[in-house]
Structure 1
Amino acid sequence: MIQYSNDLVTVFQSALFQTTSTVIQLEELILIVDPNWLPGEIEEIQAHVDAVRGDKACYLLFTHGDYDHIIGYKAFPDAKTIGSAGLSKHPKKEHKLKLIRDFDATYYVTRSYPVEFPNLDIVIEHDGQQVTIGSTTLTFYLAPGHTEDGLFTVIDAAGVLVAGDYLSDFELPFIYHSALAYEDTIRKAAGIVRDHPIQLLIPGHGQHTTSHTEMERRVNMALGHLERMKQAILAGDEQALKELEQEHGFLSETTMECHKDNVRIMRQELLEDGAKEV
Structure 2
Amino acid sequence: MGYVQSKNDYSLFLKDSQASKTIIAVYVDDILITGPDDTEIQTVKNTLHQKFSIKDLGELNYFLGIEVSRLATGVVLTQRKFTRELLADCELDVSRVAKTPLPVSMKLSSDDSAPYSDPAKYRCLVGKLNFLTYTRPDLCYAVQTLSQYLHNPTVSHFKALHHLLRYVAYTAAGHHDTVYYQACSARKSKKQGTISKSSSEAEYRAMAAAASEITWLVRLLQELGVPNLGPIQLKCDNQSAIHIGKNPVHHERTKHIELDCHFTREKVLEG
Q: How would you bin the TM-score normalised by the shorter chain? A: under 0.3
| Bigger radius of gyration among the two | 2
Higher-strand-fraction structure = 1
TM-score of the aligned structures, taking structure 1 as reference length: 0.26
